[in-house]
Amino acid sequence: MDASVYPVPSVAAVRIGDEIHALAAEIYPICRSITGAGVRETLRLLGRHIDLEQHAVPTGTRVFDWRIPREWTIRDAFIRSADGRRVLDFKASNLHVVNYSMPIRRYISTVDLKRHVFTLPDQPDLIPYRTSYYEPDWGFCMSQRALDAMTDDTYEICIDSELADGHLTYGEYVHAGETEREFLLTAHICHPSLANDNCSGLALLTLLARNLVARRTRHTYRFLFAPGTIGSLAWLAANEERVPLVDHGLVVSCVGDAGGPTYKQSRRGNALIDRAMAHLVSHLPPNGKAIPFSPYGYDERQFCSPGFDMPVGLLQNSAFGTFPEYHTSADDLDFIRPEHLERSYRLIMDAIEIVETDRRPVNLLPKGEPQLGRRGLYSKLGGSGPGAAMPMLWVLNLSDGAHSLLDMAERSGLHYRLILDAADVLEAEGLLSSGE
């Protein structure tokens, strides 16, 4: 990490990481799903910070090849032994129930029950996260150790759930900019008590949106908190005319752990957001990296389907599926840290800075170098190198109207912020026009 670009966090800076963590902690206990009260309650909590609009799409509504399913309500679930002890209790962890399980209550032989129980034998203390949204079924998730301890022949099981006509809900917040051109920032809201995936993304984007309120921007910023797949499809179906307005987009998830950052490119691979994020993460060694698009992941799958092909990438710290805590009960509030959340927050703010400020300036004295020393912009002592003038030399050299500031950052290997600052100084000196 380049200390001159990413200084040691100040007290103020640390605060945003703490704030994000606190908000993530607030929504962490809620049992979310692709529909239901958990999503609405989460949106209500996020809505304390921004003016969030809730959209409700009725059960049965067609969204492209899909149909909004019945709404799922879950009240309680348990496995109870003959002695009345709950050997599994939904109240202890909402991961214990396969998400979208149908209601069931009966006595069942342990043999039959095990056909509906999911564990992680290689991580015997952890509860896996499983779902069955579109196939009517029921099941329990538990630690292998808990399962091994179930020595009775029969248990009483209960899933006090309900599937009924209702709505799919998603939340939307728009920060209006000077133009209609949009930057879409979205996080999935369907996962229950998993902190990194995706309380981290929901909390981060909410507070980033709040902090953007006071800022005048060229782009319009749209924040979308929708259930995975069906939620983004519902938004797309309702907003097809907006798709061509989206110039940049990020799906944000798993942004609180210590890994990465990992930027997954959009299907296009060379959109401005792809280049900006690849640039930014490349300045965060040793683990910062950009990886190519693939059609499995989060909602970039839908945004990047061939009928939309939007410039929407995915920002994560560790890539989903690559960390052992992924989709388990170990993805808890200890797994995400304020300092990692802060770094992710700053990365997105930096990406916003790039799309807001990128331009193709024009050197007004393009023949030879202007005399920077006379203007106090160059070391007076010759013979010992360019010192801090290097970003200015790059900007002057490449300001031919064909190179954008991001082009200059990429070619020079210097952080965009250094290039931007140099361009601003040179403009102020009258050496550069701002270009377009």
Task: Decide if residue 396 touches a second copy (CB under 8 A).
Answer: yes
Interacting residue with a second copy among 189, 363, 418, 420 (CB under 8 A): 363
Nearer to a second copy, 305 or 357 (CB): 305
Considering the complex, what minimum distance in angstroms separates the CB of residue 28 from a second copy?
A: 18
Phi, psi of 296 (to 5 degrees): -120, 140
The one segment of 166-174, 270-278, 305-313, 422-430 that binds a second copy by CB under 8 A: 305-313
Interacting residues with a second copy between 315 and 344 (CB under 8 A)? 321, 327
Report the relative pairing of strands 154-164 and 167-175 from DSSP bridges.
Answer: unpaired
Does 286 participate in binding a second copy (rule CB under 8 A)?
Answer: no
Q: Which of 219, 220, 206 is nearest to 341 (CA)?
A: 206
Is residue 104 involved in binding a second copy (CB under 8 A)?
no
- The site string for a second copy over 151-190 (x = CB under 8 A, - otherwise) reads ----------------------------------------
106 forms part of the interface with a second copy (CB under 8 A): no
Strand ranges (DSSP E) for 201-273?
A: 220-226, 246-252, 262-264
CB of 234 to a second copy, least distance (A): 10
- Nearest-Å Rg of the Cα atoms of the chain is 25
Task: Judge contact between 199 and 27, C-beta under 8 A.
Answer: yes
What DSSP assignment string belongs to 150-216? ---SEEEEEEEEEEES-EEEEEEEEE--SSS-EEEEEEE----S-IIIIIHHHHHHHHHHHHHTT--
Question: Do the bridges between strand 117-118 and strand 154-164 make them parallel or antiparallel, or are there none, so unpaired?
Answer: unpaired
**Contact indicator for 61, 93 with CB cutoff of 8 Å:** no
For a second copy, which stretch binds (CB under 8 A), given 14-22, 102-110, 247-255, 303-311?
303-311
Comparing CB distances to a second copy, the nearer of 345 and 378 is: 378
Give me the residues that bind a second copy (CB under 8 A), please: 63-66, 98-99, 118, 128-135, 137, 229, 232-233, 236, 240, 267, 294-296, 301-302, 304-309, 321, 327, 363, 365-371, 373-374, 380-386, 390, 393-394, 396-400, 412
